[in-house]
Structures are given as structure tokens and as C-alpha cells.
Copies of this chain bind each other. A is one copy, B any other.
Amino acid sequence: MSITAFAPATVANFGPGFDVLGIAIDGAGDTVTVKQGEHPGIHITAIHGDDGRLPTDPAKNTASIAARETLKAAGVEMSLEIEIHKGLPLCSGLGSSAASAAAAAFATNQLIGSPLRKPDLIGPCIEAEAAVSGRHADNVAPALLGGLVLVRSIDPPDLIRLPIPDGLTIVVVTPEHEIPTSQARSVLPAEVPMQTMVSSTAQIASLVSACYSSDLSLLSRCLTDEVVTPARIGLIPGGEAALGAALGAGALGASISGAGPSLFALCRSERSARSAAQAMQEAIAQAGPNSTVRISPANCAGVRRVKR
């Protein structure tokens, strides 16, 4: 028997929610197939769609680490063979490593009879994510649960699924430009002024209120981030101009997706999203790179079983 699961792309570092807020987006994602192996241990039998760039060493790939940790959490010993179909580009700020981890954890759990609930898979996925892109859960949490997820704590995991205002549509624009993770991290400040912390808490608190009260005007006012976006936007060719262009085209707000280079914008409708996407692509093209656009309703399911 084999189990195949699909996990969606995610936008982490959602506005003022650096490391604590992420949202799943429809359409793109990674697909992982897991079956009992013929040889002891966990093996990656194939990775498709990564141009040979991802490690097949099971100790270094997020899918196999998540599978191993899921077995451990369930108290099951089993040999596994894992096959990965990457639907997401690597290092693009779309939660590619998290999607592989979530799909592998989910498929593994189903393969052994689903002893764990979906939220229990967050721990194994955090371990996998920590091995490749740092100890944070704002990609793996929405990849697992879907929707907009607030990470109150990762040790122990404490996740809150927030309501999403009706009609909200997400644009994600991914420039063909890579930012090494080390560079994206190195530009972040080690400390922030007290006043900046106060302002950040005010904005994220207002964002949560806007979600519960479906207040798009408030959402628009508080989708700002004084710390991470200003530090990183210069790493993205045309990034600053693209964020401005999104707002100019009527988006409620725009910011960097994950560690970039993808940018996202929130819009009131799909029509508004198309306008914002075009404006953002043009701004990025002026700086050089081509880019890919994804438009998605904000609310979508998380990881799920699919036919192979």
C-alpha cells in the first residue's frame, strides 16, 4: 500500500506576523508518496521537479525528516520509501520545504493507520523545517491546517486558526531571482527599538481583530511591518516598487512572502487581484526579472490525501 498526500504553498511572515502568522494558498503545492520500504530505514527513492538540487540523504530532506519524526511521535518502527513531486520552486518564499514536510508527515501517519491527529503532526514538521530553514512554524502550520494560522508557541506547539474575511484574495508574485537564506537572515536586526516592538504588537493585534470582524479597511491599515520588510525588500529586484504598485492598483496591503523573493498582496476580489498582479509584475520586470503570478482565495484546505 502507498499513500500520496498534497500540501499547499504558504505565505509566511504574513504582514506584521514575522515568524507567527502564515496562510495557505490554493493551487500550487508539493506531492509526496510514502510506502512501506523493502530495506530497513527511510529512503528517498525519487525527487521530481527540483532539477536535482534537493538532498536525497534522508537525514537532510524535510520530507524524510518529517516522516521519521511522525513515526517516532506515533511510537512506530517501520521502513519507508518516499517519492517527492515538487510543485513549488525552491527558495522562493512559498514554503516549499514546509509543503514537502507536511505532505510526508500526513502520508506517513495515514500509512500507519492515522494514530495521530492533524495538529499532532506540527511537531514532526517543525523538526523537519528546523533542519533546513530555522525553527519556525508559520509555513508548516498553514500547510497542515489550511487557512490563516497564528503560531502562539512552538514549544509546545499552540496554533490558532483565524477567520478570514469573505472575498479576500491573495496574489503571490515570484520573481526569477534567488536570495540565499543566509543573506535573508543576515539583514535582519538582532534587536529592535522598544517603540518598534510596541508598534508591531499594535499592528498584529489589529490584524487579528480585522479578521474576526471582517473589517477590510482595518486590515488594510495594519498590514504593515516596520522591521522585516524594510530590511529585506532591497534584496528583491523591483521589490519596493512592486509593493507600491500593488497598493496603487487597489490592493489592501502588500509585503514579502516568507523570506522572499516572492511578494504577496491582499485584495478585496479576484478582479482587484488581477490588477494588482499585473502592476506588481510590471514593476519587477522594470528591474529585470521575469516573474510568475499565483492568485488564490485566502481560505483553502491544508494537507490532504490525493490519488497518485
Residues of A near any B CB (own CB < 8 A): 16-21, 150-153, 158, 160, 162, 188-194, 196-198, 200-209, 212-213, 218, 221-222, 227
| Chain B: minimal CB distance from A139 (Å) | 15
Partner of A152, one of B19, B193, B202, B227: B202
Interface pairs A-B: 9 shortest CB-CB:
A212-B212, A191-B191, A208-B208, A152-B206, A20-B202, A201-B204, A197-B197, A19-B198, A204-B205
Looking across the interface, which residue of chain B has its beta carbon closest to that of A212?
Answer: B212
Task: State whether A221 touches B190 (Cβ < 8 A).
Answer: no
Q: Which one of B189, B200, B202 lies within 8 Å of A153 (CB-CB)?
A: B202
Question: When chains A and B are docked, how far (Å) is the Cα of A202 from the Cα of B152?
Answer: 5
**In the complex, A150 Cα to B191 Cα: how many Å?**
25
Chain B residues positioned under 8 Å from A209 (CB to CB): 150, 160, 162, 208, 212
Q: Is the CB of A152 within 8 A of B222?
A: yes
A152-B222, A160-B218, A208-B208 in contact; A194/B188 too (CB < 8 A)?
Answer: yes
Q: Which of A152, A188, A222 has the most CB of B within 10 A?
A: A152
**Are A150's CB and B206's CB within 8 A?**
yes
A85 to chain B, nearest CB (A): 33
B221 touches A158 (CB 8 A): yes
Complex Cα gap A59–B162 (Å) = 47
B202 touching A205 by the CB < 8 A rule?
no
Known contacts A197-B197, A201-B17: A152-B190 contact under CB 8 Å: no
Known: A152-B222, A197-B227, A200-B197. A205 touches B17 (CB 8 A): yes
Cβ-defined partner of A192 (8 Å) among B17, B151, B194, B213: B194
Say whether A198 contacts B152, CB under 8 Å. no
Best-surrounded residue of A19, A191, A202 (most CB of chain B within 10 A): A202
Cα distance, A208 to B201, chains bound together (Å): 11
Measured between beta carbons, the chain B residues less than 8 angstroms from A201 are 16-18, 20, 200-201, 204
The docked-state distance in angstroms from the alpha carbon of A148 to that of B141 is 30
A303–B162 Cα gap in the complex (Å)?
33
User: Which among A16, A192, A207 has the greatest number of chain B C-beta atoms within 10 A?
Assistant: A192
B192 contacts A150, C-beta separation under 8 Å: no
* Most-contacted residue by chain B among A152, A158, A201 (CB, 10 A): A201
Are B194 and A191 interface neighbours, CB within 8 A? yes
Name 15 interchain pairs, CB-CB below 8 A, sorted by A: A18-B198, A19-B202, A20-B205, A152-B203, A152-B218, A188-B194, A190-B193, A191-B191, A191-B192, A192-B197, A197-B227, A201-B204, A208-B212, A209-B212, A212-B213
> Given the complex of chains A and B, what is the CA–CA distance between A41 and B152 in angstroms?
52
Q: Are A196 and B197 in contact (CB under 8 A)?
A: yes
Q: A197-B197, A209-B162, A209-B208 are in contact. Are A202 and B16 (CB under 8 A)?
A: no
Can you name 9 extra interface pairs (CB under 8 A) apart from A152-B206, A191-B191? A17-B201, A19-B202, A150-B202, A153-B202, A160-B209, A191-B193, A192-B194, A212-B212, A212-B213
